Structure 1
Amino acid sequence: MAQNRLLIQSIGKLKNNGIRITPQRYAILQYLIENDTHPTADTIYQALSERFPNMSVATVYNNLRLFTKIGFVKEMKYGDASSRFDFATTEHYHAICERCGKIEDVYYPGLEDVESVTEDLTGFKVHTHRLEIYGICMECQSQEQTN
């Protein structure tokens, strides 16, 4: 139910910005909302290519860039690795597995004021921030114990 509401709100935001809702655009947005796995553009393309055989990876990238520009998708860049994309309705952080690359959302209200504190301490005009915590996920830990 909440996913449908997010999809409807996002479609409304696109329409309010004068952006046409194509079937591919709708499917990409729906995939992001329904799959909180922080997918790459290629992952999204692979998942939707059977439904949209004429859709290219470039179409997926272009739509992800558009969603990022509008502000309801965040691009997560990690060095040389492919960017991951996160449909973000609230500010949150990420725990990242150093072995398999799995990304879990972390909601921690104590860090909400980190930008204003940083501005006060450094004089920086902060535009945004990102917090990542690296470790080994439960699945990888289990695999280590069985080996």
Structure 2
Amino acid sequence: MLSVDMAIKALKEKKIRLTPQRLELINILSQENKHWTVEELYHILNERMPSVSITTIYNNINLFCELEIVKEIQFGESLSKYEWKKKDHYHIVCKLCGEMVDVWYPTLKEVETVAESISKFQIRSHNLQFYGVCSQCAEQ
């Protein structure tokens, strides 16, 4: 798992300013094992720093993704969630409430190898998400 110190070092190496908003966003993302939307991050950061704009959040999240501090999890074209960079893993998503849980399983590199041989692409990564119903929704 990426440490806060490593994230700050990555920003410094690229000569990117360590603004209070960036540092607070790093703290939020790194402290909780959660999958965030930009809007959720905005609401939390805006409580702590009322002058922050949602554009600031989008710009910093995009920067963090480029630097591989944060990973984007895409759900089609309309929704992305973001998580602090951790060891490669997969996700299970509740189709009713949207809860997302990490699944630690060895990376399926053989799938990438087959995809490369079929497509002639150079595969860099892949995403795998499972969909079901969480225990809370199943009880209701």
**Structure 1 and Structure 2 fold alike (TM over 0.5):** yes
Q: 1:7 Cα deviation (Å)? A: 0.8
- Number of residue-to-residue matches in the alignment: 140
Question: Which structure exhibits the higher relative contact order, with contacts defined as CA atoms closer than 8 Å and separated by 6 or more residues?
Answer: 2
Amino acid at match of 2:60: N
Q: What CA distance in whole angstroms lies between the structure 2 residues aligned with 1:74 and 1:42?
A: 16
Change in Cα spacing, 1:50 to 1:93, as seen in structure 2 (3 Å) is same
Is residue 91–residue 129 contact of structure 2 (8 Å, CA) maintained in 1? yes
1:62 and 2:52 correspond = no
1:28 and 2:7 correspond = no
Q: What CA distance in whole angstroms lies between the structure 2 residues aligned with 1:46 and 1:27?
A: 13
Q: What CA distance in whole angstroms lies between the structure 2 residues aligned with 1:34 and 1:128?
A: 25
**Which runs of 5 or more residues in structure 2 are unaligned?**
none
Amino acid at match of 1:104: V
What's the counterpart of residue 50 of structure 2?
Answer: 53
Identity of aligned residues (%): 37
Q: 1:74 Cα deviation (Å)? A: 1.5
Q: What is the RMSD computed on CA atoms of the aligned residues? A: 1.8
2:4 to 7, 13, 27: 7
Q: What CA distance in whole angstroms lies between the structure 2 residues aligned with 1:110 and 1:12?
A: 27
Q: 1:122 Cα deviation (Å)? A: 4.4
Change in Cα spacing, 1:119 to 1:6, as seen in structure 2 (3 Å) is same
What's the counterpart of residue 115 of structure 2?
Answer: 118
1:79 and 2:108 correspond = no
Q: 1:80 Cα deviation (Å)? A: 5.1
Q: 1:31 Cα deviation (Å)? A: 0.9
Q: 1:50 Cα deviation (Å)? A: 1.7
Q: What secondary structure is seen at the aligned counterpart in 2 of 1:49?
A: helix
Q: What CA distance in whole angstroms lies between the structure 1 residues aligned with 2:47 and 2:80?
A: 23
